[in-house]
């Protein structure tokens, strides 16, 4: 009888251990995940010509710090492994392989840049590693059929170019357009959007086009050439450093075109202030996030929440820098995906949650703009709002553009 009782007790103990192992296995549900931690990989430009965008990575780390101090996501802390690739694709490839194969991250998140994201897209999809919320407005991140493990975040440059074309048709339908654009997907997508929006008028209206490459030290000669074309409209599709250079040079040579500047480079702190407010008056751009320098958001609940977070977790950063708003919002989106994933932090479920976001509102998105994704919609944000620089701030005008 005693032996039988011992056998029953032993069997019960074995079953309990098995159940405990099953629960533990359920929580250890994928690479990059432990009982207490979620490892997230990222590459960002903290050095080189695009170093101003490093503020976005710093902001993301600061937001994850806030989340961790408040207990993490479903009981796990986020370990954010952000590496400096200086916006160089070869370095992105090297660092991404390290993050996946050595650091064993759950996913790659918020990689900055078009060429850099493109350089690792095939590798990550082959290994079925989520490439979440690329920090680039290139349209290729919406290719869910061929690259189901890669998803964008920001409105595409193509959509923004449509907004620029609509403004040009309203303000200067007979104008002559010059285009300055980076020789990357940033520039190519924007030019494609202009061609699509202007249609048969494109050859007549666009009379000059100049490009630059990210390593170039200056764009002075391109600006002088565009000025000499006789254009009275400039569509400026450049990154922060070159946008500031362009604004200074345009003003200093006495050119006064209708200046349309991509949202990639409309940060007050990183672009407009360094270029000089007096040189940038009247520039038209677009946005989908609240400008922290705009007094209309002074009493806005979302902006108050952002300012409180900045003061406590990111106090060393400039509140004039749009990149901090971007990093805050990108990080909030990822945290929502992790939260919805619960204890099923397999890469497949994380990707499923990232592509199942409906009507997600974030504190610093403009009113009327929300995040929507689905298995056939890998463009989370599809709307933006035109705005104009007046004094020391951007002023919204017109209606939301996109759909």
pLDDT per position as a tens digit, 149-187 = 999 999 999 999 999 999 999 999 999 999 999 998 899
Q: What is the mean pLDDT of residues 380-402?
A: 93
Residues 208 and 225: their CA atoms lie apart, in Å, by 8
Both 236 and 256 in a single domain?
yes
CB 255 within 8 A of CB 229: no
Give 132's strand partners: 109
Considering the domain architecture, whether residues 173 and 146 belong to the same structural domain is answered as no
CATH of the domain at 218: 3.40.50.2300
369/340 same-domain check: yes
Q: Quote the distance between the C-alpha of residue 402 and its chain's center.
A: 18
Inside any domain, residue 127 = yes
List of residues 6+ apart from 276 with CB closer than 8 A? 247, 248, 251
Say whether both 368 and 260 belong to one domain.
Answer: no
Q: What is the mean pLDDT of residues 123-149?
A: 96
Considering the domain boundaries, does residue 344 fall inside one? yes
**Residue 209 is assigned to a structural domain of this protein:** yes
In angstroms, the CA 397 to CA 45 distance is 32
Same domain, 175 and 127: no
- Based on its alpha-carbon atoms, the radius of gyration of the chain, rounded to whole angstroms, reads 24
Residue 249 and residue 164 in one domain: yes
Residues 162 and 258 in one domain: yes
Does 72 map to a domain? yes
Residue 93: what pLDDT?
Answer: 98
Q: Which residues contact 278 (CB under 8 A, 6 or more apart)?
A: 251
In this predicted structure, the answer to whether residue 279 has a pLDDT above a threshold of 60 is yes
Q: Note down the domain range covering 86.
A: 37-155+299-383
The pLDDT of residue 16 is: 41
Quote the CA–CA distance of 350 and 69 in Å, as a whole number: 23
Q: Is 298 exposed, middle or buried (0-12, 13-18, 19+ CB in 10 A)?
A: exposed
2 domain-assigned: no
5 lies in some domain: no
From start to end of 315-392, where are the E strands? Answer: 383-390
Whether 149 and 170 share a structural domain: no
* Run of H or E residues at 108: strand 107-109
Q: Where are the beta strands (DSSP E) in 126-243?
A: 131-132, 177-182, 206-212, 233-237
Q: Give percent of the chain with pLDDT exceeding 70.
A: 93
Query: Is the distance from CB of 161 to CB of 194 less than 8 angstroms?
Result: yes
Please check whether residues 127 and 217 belong to one and the same domain. Answer: no
Query: Is 362 within a domain?
Result: yes
Residues 346 and 264 in one domain: no
Instruction: Tell me what pLDDT residue 3 has.
Output: 53
Q: Are 83 and 43 in contact (CB under 8 A)?
A: yes
Residues 315 and 366 both lie in one domain: yes
Give this prediction's pTM: 0.83
Q: Answer whether residue 20 is part of any domain.
A: no
pLDDT value, residue 173: 96
Asked whether residue 50 falls in the same domain as residue 69, the answer is: yes
Domains in the chain: how many in total? 2
* Residues 21-72: tens digit of each pLDDT: 444 444 557 899 999 999 999 999 999 988 999 999 999 999 999 999 999 9
Three-state DSSP class for residue 314: coil
């Amino acid at each position: 009888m005693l032996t039988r009782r011992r056998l029953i007790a032993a069997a019960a103990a074995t079953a309990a251990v098995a159940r405990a192992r099953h629960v533990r296995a359920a929580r250890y549900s994928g690479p990059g995940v432990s009982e207490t931690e979620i490892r997230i990989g990222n590459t960002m430009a903290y050095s080189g010509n695009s170093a101003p965008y490093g503020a976005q990575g710093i902001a993301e780390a600061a937001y994850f710090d806030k989340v961790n101090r408040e207990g993490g996501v479903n009981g796990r802390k986020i370990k954010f492994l952000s590496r400096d690739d200086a916006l160089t694709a070869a370095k992105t490839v090297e660092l991404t392989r390290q993050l996946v194969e050595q650091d064993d991250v759950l996913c790659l998140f918020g990689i900055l840049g078009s060429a850099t994201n493109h350089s690792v897209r095939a590798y990550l999809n082959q290994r079925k590693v989520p490439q979440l919320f690329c920090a680039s407005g290139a349209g290729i991140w919406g290719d869910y059929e061929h690259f189901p493990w890669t998803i964008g975040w920001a409105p595409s440059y193509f959509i923004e170019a449509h907004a620029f074309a609509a403004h040009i048709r309203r303000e200067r339908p007979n104008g002559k357009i010059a285009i300055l654009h980076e020789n990357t997907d940033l520039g190519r997508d924007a030019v494609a959007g202009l061609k699509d929006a202007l249609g048969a008028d494109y050859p007549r209206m666009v009379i000059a086009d100049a490009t630059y490459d990210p390593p170039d030290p200056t764009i002075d000669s391109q600006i002088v050439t565009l000025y000499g074309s006789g254009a009275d409209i400039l569509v400026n599709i450049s990154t922060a450093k070159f946008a500031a250079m362009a604004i200074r040079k345009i003003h200093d040579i006495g050119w006064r075109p209708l200046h349309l500047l991509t949202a990639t480079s409309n940060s007050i702190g990183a672009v407009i202030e360094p270029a000089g407010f007096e040189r940038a008056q009247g520039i038209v751009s677009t946005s989908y996030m609240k400008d922290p320098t705009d007094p209309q958001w002074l009493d806005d609940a979302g902006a108050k929440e952002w300012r409180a977070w900045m003061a406590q977790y990111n106090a060393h950063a400039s509140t004039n820098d749009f990149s901090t708003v971007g990093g805050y919002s990108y990080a909030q989106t990822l945290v929502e995906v992790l939260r919805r994933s619960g204890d099923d932090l397999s890469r497949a479920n994380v990707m499923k949650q990232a592509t199942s976001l409906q009507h997600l509102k974030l504190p610093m998105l403009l009113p009327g703009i929300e995040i929507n994704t689905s298995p056939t919609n890998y463009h989370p944000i599809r709307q933006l709002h035109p705005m104009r620089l007046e004094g020391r701030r951007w002023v919204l005008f017109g209606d939301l553009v996109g759909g």
